[in-house]
A and B are shown apart, each in its own frame.
Chain A
Amino acid sequence: MKANLKYNAAWLGVMVLGFVVIDACEFLGIINSFIENMLVTIGINIILATGLNLIIGFSGQFSLGHAGFMAIGAYATGIITQTLVTPIGFYLSVVVGIGIAIIAALIVGIPTLRLRGDYLAIATMGAAEIIRILINNLKITNGAAGLFNIPPLVTWATVYVFMCITTIVTVNFIHSRSGRAVMSVREDEIAAESMGINTTRWKLAAFVFGASTAAIGGSLHAAYIQTIAPGDFNIMASIAILIIVVLGGVGSITGTFIAAIVLGTLDTVLQNFGTLRMIIYSLALILIMIFKPSGLLGTWEFSFKPLGSRQRKEQSVHE
């Protein structure tokens, strides 16, 4: 129990430190609005990719429609905060977005996750398109023009806090009975079933969980960028999130963080290269896929625990 407290305190320390460092840089003027924009994009991508990694890396299901769930969150925020221009309005819109995303995920997930195999990939791809086309044609979402002048109710600090919360919740989910049940489905569905694990239920749990974090990412995106259009949430947007997961390592949350930071930075740095940017970007991806096909970190996770046990070992050696 005491050891757990120590690890949790260490993680809390890291999160606070990260916040203080960014805040100090902001104060000293090292971070201009350009870099802040990059940091916020990285933060939102981390939220989106962590949820997708839970679905792909831990439950072993393939989802190609993450941007669809993101769109739900984004439009919930866009629509609600235009009438309710308060922080409360924003948080309410986040909750509404999560609620709708959960319903959509259940509708897609219940029929497809009963089956074994990659049916979810096709179904989610279709569902994301349906969501996008609905948004494109509805009056409330302002059709293809999208929503603009969404009140700026989100700062980099809000994104940072949300990123920390969703990561903590996701990691806690993974390192619990639920997470182990989800991983057993990935490892061997037949064996999991014969151990009394309701595979459909756990696949659905991971999928719905991932979808609701995507909605949070969407809400933050809408409120920070202030402009959203249906085109922002097409299949390419889903694939962009998928790239982060695959690059970082399918099944490694640490990898997702690193990949989101690396790609986010690369994207910004390469903007100076104009059209060469896309070529260098894809070249980097191809090289990584050739030399490190399991992603940057594979399934490795950073943890304070080995550090703690090494300390203990050293102590016992000295004694």
Chain B
Amino acid sequence: MSSPLLTAQQIVKSFGGLTAVANVSVHFDQNELIGLIGPNGAGKTTLFNLLTGVTPVTSGAISLYTDQGVQSLNGKKPAEIAQAGISRTFQNIRLFKELTVLDNVRIAMTNHYREGFFTSIFRTPKFYRTEADMTTAAQKLLAIFDLTGVADQPAKNLPYGIQRRLEIVRALATKPKLLFLDEPAAGMNPEETADLTRLIRQIQHDFHITIVLIEHDMSLVMNVVERLYVLEHGALLAEGTPSKIQQNPAVIKAYLGGEA
């Protein structure tokens, strides 16, 4: 087994009387492709929000394994967690709509290309250099994902499938070690889903990162992931390889209902 990248131990999140996530423990390893499935309202997105700091955990420990050792993510703000190397996409696309595709990507690179306040307002040669480096890097990334042609378009003008892809590219631009994709295939037609499947495999292969995927499209999930977590009513129901999960009676019961 490879080395761990992120572990969450017994995390709990309650909203008032409702426990959205109850005692869930997960671990994501280096360069792994993991699926997170479960019926609607099972707490999948809440789990993503907890792991990315959008909502704070009620209890439990989240740790990220970096080159500098183990780092606790408890109580960290989303921006700090993103800087630590965790990036994500959203269930309902959240692009910077009025800005161009190129700017969407360049914004995600903000923390990697530092130009000081004074270098930018006085336009020193260093400013132009950093800006050019950043733009080249962004264009390279756009080229990998076939977005060069739309680089100067405002993000809101793109077709839905391309917007989804841009959101993934933007998340990659932060140079993450761990990428959370929240229902990337939602609203896509079978052809677009097939493209997405290829894309996800390519990202994992070319960027050497861990990808965690929330998805309802079972053809996509069973096709690409190496390991699955199944959530139901905020609790972990099962864990294992896709073939094992497909035969798990508890999972079948949760999805199909009735006796199993």
Query: Are B94's CB and A190's CB within 8 A?
Result: yes
**Roughly how many angstroms separate A197 CA and B88 CA in the complex, as a whole number?**
13
Which A127-148 residues have C-beta < 8 A from chain B? none
A187 at the interface (CB under 8 A from B): yes
B140 at the interface (CB under 8 A from A): no
**Roughly how many angstroms separate A7 CA and B95 CA in the complex, as a whole number?**
30
Q: Mark B78-96, 1 if CB is under 8 A from A, else 0.
A: 1100110001101000111
Query: Are B134's CB and A194's CB within 8 A?
Result: no
Residues of B within 8 A of A (CB): 52, 54, 77-79, 82-83, 87-88, 90, 94-99, 103, 106-108, 110-111, 113-115, 117, 120-123, 127-128, 130-131, 134, 170-171, 173-174
Query: Are A180's CB and B88's CB within 8 A?
Result: no
A196 at the interface (CB under 8 A from B): yes
**Roughly how many angstroms separate A205 CA and B120 CA in the complex, as a whole number?**
14
Given known contacts A169-B121, A178-B117, A191 and B94 CB-to-CB distance under 8 angstroms:
yes
Query: Are B111's CB and A196's CB within 8 A?
Result: yes
Which one of B96, B113, B123, B131 lies within 8 Å of A191 (CB-CB)? Answer: B96
Give A169's nearest chain B residue, CB to CB. B121
Which residues of B lie under 8 Å from residue A178 when comparing CB positions? 117, 120
Query: Are A184's CB and B107's CB within 8 A?
Result: yes
Counting chain B CB atoms within 10 Å of each CB, the highest count among A172, A176, A190 belongs to A176
**Roughly how many angstroms separate A101 CA and B96 CA in the complex, as a whole number?**
31
- Contacts A196-B110, A199-B79 aside, 6 further interface pairs with beta carbons under 8 A come to A8-B123, A172-B121, A177-B114, A180-B103, A184-B96, A195-B107
Which A182-228 residues have C-beta < 8 A from chain B? 183-184, 187-188, 190-199, 205
A173 at the interface (CB under 8 A from B): yes
**Roughly how many angstroms separate A199 CA and B103 CA in the complex, as a whole number?**
17
A299 at the interface (CB under 8 A from B): yes
Smallest CB separation, A206 vs chain B (Å): 12
9 smallest beta-carbon distances between A and B, as pairs: A196-B82, A176-B120, A187-B96, A191-B94, A193-B78, A196-B83, A184-B107, A195-B108, A172-B121
Which residues of B lie under 8 Å from residue A290 when comparing CB positions? none
Query: Are B128's CB and A195's CB within 8 A?
Result: no
Smallest CB separation, B79 vs chain A (Å): 5
Smallest CB separation, B87 vs chain A (Å): 7
A46 at the interface (CB under 8 A from B): no
Which residues of A lie under 8 Å from residue B97 when comparing CB positions? 187-188
Query: Are B110's CB and A177's CB within 8 A?
Result: yes
A4 at the interface (CB under 8 A from B): yes
Given known contacts A194-B54, A194-B88, A195-B110, A184 and B99 CB-to-CB distance under 8 angstroms:
yes
25 A-B pairs in the complex with CB atoms less than 8 angstroms apart: A1-B128, A4-B128, A173-B117, A173-B120, A176-B115, A176-B131, A177-B113, A180-B106, A183-B96, A183-B99, A183-B103, A183-B107, A187-B96, A187-B99, A188-B96, A190-B54, A192-B107, A193-B77, A194-B52, A195-B110, A195-B173, A196-B108, A197-B82, A197-B110, A205-B117
Which residues of A lie under 8 Å from residue B123 when comparing CB positions? 8, 172
Query: Are A195's CB and B87's CB within 8 A?
Result: yes
Smallest CB separation, A187 vs chain B (Å): 4
